[in-house]
Every structure is written in C-alpha cells, then in structure tokens.
C-alpha cells in the first residue's frame, strides 16, 4: 500500500491489488458483468488491478466429462490442454466486459503472464513467475486479466495445469511476483467460518487468521482456500483476503501473526478480537473432512523396518497419507496393527499395492474403511492451554461419540469418528469452545465447504 502526499493511508485505494474470482463468481454472462463492475470500481478507486479468473461455473467438469466420453484414461498432456480452454473463455469474456465499462483491460494465458511450472501435467508446481507483460499492462493503466490454474513448462513449451484449486495459487504467486499489497480471493461465502454453517448454523466468520492456522484449517477440510495457495502465501508473506464477491464487507484476512496490526487495503479489522488474544486461547475454528478413508494393515510382524517398508509401498502408490496409528504390539504374538488415513481416491491403488507385498512383509490381512469422518480443532492458543484437548474429548464423550484415532500438531487436534457421527461432533465441539454466535447475527452464506 502506498501513501498519499499528505501521508494519510487510504484504505482500499492507491494499492496494487490481485483479485481472484472463482468459477461460481463468473458462472454466466450476467455474473461476468457483475464481477467486471466490481473490478472497474477497484480500478477507478485508484488501484492497480490484476485479476485471476477460473473457468465459468461447471465448465471444467463438463470438459472432464467430454474427455471421459472419449477415453477413461486420457493422456495428461492432452487433458491439460483441454481443461485450460475453460479459463481462456472466462478471461476473454471478463476482459470484454471490463472494456465495455470504459476501463481498458487485456487478458493473458498462464504462459503469456509468465507462470512457469514444472512438467508434471495435471498437478504442476509453479517454479517461477515472470510477469513482464502484466507489469507492462498495469503500467499503462490497464487491468490485466490472467487465466488461473494454468502455466507453461519451459522444458517442452507445453501447457500445464496446477490441479484443483490452482487458481488460488496462481493469484497468490502473481501477487508475490508483482509485490502486490494484497491478494483478494473472491468466493461465494463471506470468508472463513468457525465451522461449516450448513452443519453449525451458529458458526461465525473469522476476521483474522494466521497462515499456520489457515494451513491447518485447509488441510483439515476447510475448502475455502486451496492448501497450496496458503503455503505459497506464507512463504512469500502475501496478505490474503478471503471475501464474498456478492458483498462489500470485509472477509477473512490471512497473514503472519506478527503482521496482525499492519493495515491491509480493503480490510477493516475490528478491535474486540484483537483484545481477546491476551486472555484466552484463540480457537480459530472446527474443520471437518469426509473425504478420507482408513486402511488397517492387520497382524504386522513387529520387527524393525516393517513400518518403513509399508509406507515405502504406500508412497510408491502415490498416496498422500494423513494420520497414522500403530497399536502396541501384543507381547504374546509379536504382531501389531497399523492404521492410516488417506484421501478416498487414493484408496484402491494403495490397497492393490499393499496386497502385492503381503507375502514379502508377512502381514495377516488388509481392512478398508471409507465410512470415517475427521474433526479438527484449530487455534493458535491451544499449545499453551493443556485444557483444550481435555475439553474436546469431554465434549465428544458427552455427545456419545467414539474417537477412533487422534493426531495433534502445535495448533491443531484432529480426531477420527464414524462418518455418520461427524455433524454431531462438529456441533458439540463448536459449542463447547464458545464459538457459537452470541449476537444472533444471521449467517447468509453456506460454510467453509463448497
């Protein structure tokens, strides 16, 4: 954020702002025009504006469906070319709509915007951002529209995609590359909530959250921000403002803890929450996740190296494992059980890979369970407050909910329950930590999960 000659800081003006609009914000021509109006206003208020846009509405799913009609296993390179057509459409339409409002705008593909990635088609990682043309465009006083989700690999000059949620990462990476004052992620919810309002009607919007807490929330199932974009924002210190494209209200600001008092354009932070930090643990919220399964390897010989070999095989199958629990081995048999959770989609491949080494490792059997739910309590205050886990377990006990697995980090406690108990668990914990809205404020938009 720049200062005026008089030295007064102007909120939401005279800044370099990167705005990202998701597919639901540009679902049809009408929405595109609405978003264009918002962008033109930001530009007319004196900001330099760079916009990252996703494909319209269900375009990506429709293109995936077309590919499935052709072949169940399309080559990833071709799938990437296919999917990037979606952002090409939305970015061109958005640029047209902005020009139509009398504000000059130009659209750029990931390649033209200088988003350089590795060559891993389908889930490429950004290795560099060289936004010459974007800088040139904003220096001319024009709005630059950039296709999210896509980049180019300099090895082969081929088009790549960043995987689901990739547009968030594009926006943060561009904000970092351009030295933007803030990266605004526009979505169809008001911000990050203390729980999914569809499950907990009394859930509250969180005004501020640290990168670390947001990482834990995103990793624990809150879908409002893609995990990788938060990692990127943290690494480069990019302030991220998650807000609704349907309202002018501030949303949730994601920053480093030490930046809590630095003003960010467009964000008005209310005082009460800041004061609260002094006296009590701040619980950011309760996240939940139904998208994981549990695999149990039964009757594993309890000898050194066996667990390592099992997770070598699991890694080889490309699975991202989350929680791991190993039982104490029964002295009589020298056998133990190892359970771990992983995304549903990684289940079949991992089961097949493990079955292939049953003889070599010598375990008794494999169990697969996709009826689990995971609840995570996230908050910076909990490390210094040992009472937090006791209160969590107590709340679940009082609600009659059985805990199957537990894992913790410095700012998170996660428990695995039966999937059909998960909603009750979220409500019980949200209430036990005093997160329910007390001022009777209506929650308009649905949740952290989309």
Beta carbon of residue 136, minimum distance to its own copies (angstroms, whole number): 11
Give least dist CB 166 to its own copies, A: 17
Task: CB nearer to its own copies: give 121 or 374.
Answer: 121
Taking each helix axis from N to C terminus, what angle separates 306-316 and 347-355, rounded to the nearest 10 degrees? 130
> Which structure tokens are listed for 125?
């990682």
Closest CB to its own copies among residues 76, 437: 76
Among candidate residues 12, 2, 18, 11, the one with its CA nearest the CA of residue 184:
18
Q: How far is CA 124 from CA 77, 120, 244, 440, in A?
A: 11, 5, 28, 44
Q: Phi, psi (5° rounding) for residue 419? A: -60, -35
For its own copies, the closer of residues 70 and 332 by Cβ is 70
Given the complex with its own copies, which of 105 and 215 has the nearer CB atom?
Answer: 105
Distance from the first to the final alpha carbon of the chain: 32
Q: Closer to its own copies at the Cβ: 101 or 259? A: 101
CB-neighbour burial class of residue 208 (10 A; exposed 0-12, middle 13-18, buried 19+): buried
Residue 93 C-beta: closest distance to its own copies, Å: 5
- Please report the beta strands in 219-307, taking only residues with DSSP state E, as ranges in sequence order: 240-244, 252-255, 285-289, 292-301
What is the DSSP code (8-state) at residue 65?
A: H
Compare residues 82 and 432 and give the one whose CB is closer to its own copies.
Answer: 82
Nearer to its own copies among residue 32 and residue 377 (C-beta): 32
Report the residue number, 78 or 424, with the smaller CB distance to its own copies: 78
> Is residue 23 a contact partner of residue 84, using CB atoms and an 8 Å limit?
no
Min separation Cβ 56 and its own copies, Å: 9
From the CB of 405, what's the least distance to its own copies, in Å? 40
| Cα angle for residues 254, 189, 13 (degrees, 5° grid) | 55
- Tokens 């705005």 locate to 19
Tally DSSP H helices, then E strands, for the chain.
13, 20
- Is 137 or 293 the residue whose CB approaches its own copies more closely? 137
**Other Cβ atoms within 10 Å of 379 Cβ, number:** 24
* Minimum separation from the CB atom of position 317 to its own copies (A): 24
Parallel, antiparallel, or unpaired for β 150-153 and 252-255? unpaired
How many residues are given for the chain? Answer: 450
Binding site for its own copies (CB under 8 A): 29, 32-33, 63, 66-67, 69-71, 73-75, 77-79, 81-82, 84-86, 88-89, 91-93, 95-97, 99-100, 106-107, 109, 112, 133, 157-159
Nearer to its own copies by C-beta: 129 or 176? 129
Q: How far is the CB of 59 from its own copies (least distance, A)?
A: 10
Nearest distance from C-beta of residue 80 to its own copies, angstroms: 8
CA 323 to chain CA centroid, nearest Å: 19
Instruction: Give all strands (DSSP E) within 75-190, no chain letters.
Output: 105-108, 115-117, 126-129, 143-147, 150-153, 158-161, 182-187
Report the alpha-carbon distance of residue 96 to residue 101 in Å, rounded.
9
User: What kind and span of H or E run contains 426?
Assistant: helix 422-432
- For the bound state, the minimum distance from the C-beta of residue 36 to its own copies, rounded and expressed in Å, comes to 8
Report the nearest approach of its own copies to the CB of residue 245 (Å): 17
């Amino acid at each position: 954020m720049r200062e005026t000659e008089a030295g007064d800081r102007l909120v939401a003006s005279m800044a370099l702002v990167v705005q990202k609009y998701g597919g639901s914000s540009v679902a049809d021509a009408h929405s595109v025009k609405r978003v264009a109006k918002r962008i033109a206003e930001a530009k007319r208020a004196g900001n330099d504006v760079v916009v990252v846009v996703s494909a319209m509405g269900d375009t990506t799913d429709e293109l995936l469906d077309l590919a499935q009609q052709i072949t169940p296993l399309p080559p990833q390179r071709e799938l990437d070319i296919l999917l990037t057509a979606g952002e090409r459409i939305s970015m061109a339409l958005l640029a047209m709509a902005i020009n139509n409002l009398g504000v000059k705008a130009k659209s750029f593909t990931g390649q033209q915007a200088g988003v350089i990635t590795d060559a891993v088609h389908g889930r490429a990682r950004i290795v560099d951002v060289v936004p010459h043309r974007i800088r040139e465009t904003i220096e001319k006083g024009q709005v630059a529209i950039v296709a999210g989700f896509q980049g180019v690999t300099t090895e082969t000059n081929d088009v790549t995609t960043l995987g689901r949620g990739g547009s968030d990462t594009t926006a943060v990476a561009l904000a970092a590359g351009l030295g933007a004052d803030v990266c605004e992620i526009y979505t169809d919810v008001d911000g990050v909530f203390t729980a999914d309002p569809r499950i907990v009607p009394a859930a509250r919007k969180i005004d501020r959250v640290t990168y670390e807490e947001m990482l834990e929330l995103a990793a624990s199932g809150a879908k409002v921000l893609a995990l990788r974009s938060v990692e990127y924002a943290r690494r480069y210190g990019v302030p991220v403002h998650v807000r609704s494209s349907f309202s002018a209200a501030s949303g949730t600001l994601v920053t480093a803890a030490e930046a809590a008092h630095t003003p960010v354009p467009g964000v008005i932070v209310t005082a009460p929450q800041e004061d609260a930090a002094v006296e009590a643990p701040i619980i950011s919220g309760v996240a939940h996740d139904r998208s994981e399964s549990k695999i149990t390897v039964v009757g594993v010989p309890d000898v050194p190296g066996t667990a390592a070999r099992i997770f070598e095989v699991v890694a080889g199958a490309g699975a991202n494992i989350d929680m791991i629990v190993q039982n104490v081995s029964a002295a009589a048999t020298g056998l133990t059980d190892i359970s771990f959770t992983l995304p549903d989609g990684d289940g079949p491949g991992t089961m097949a890979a493990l079955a292939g080494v049953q003889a070599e490792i010598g375990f008794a059997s494999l169990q697969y369970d996709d009826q689990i739910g995971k609840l995570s309590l996230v908050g910076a205050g909990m490390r210094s407050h040992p009472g937090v886990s006791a209160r969590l377990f107590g709340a679940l006990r009082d609600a009659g909910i059985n805990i199957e697995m537990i894992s913790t980090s410095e700012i998170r406690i996660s428990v695995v329950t039966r999937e059909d108990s998960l909603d009750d668990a979220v409500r019980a914990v949200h209430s036990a930590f005093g997160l329910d809205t007390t001022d009777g404020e209506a929650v308009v938009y649905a949740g952290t999960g989309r």
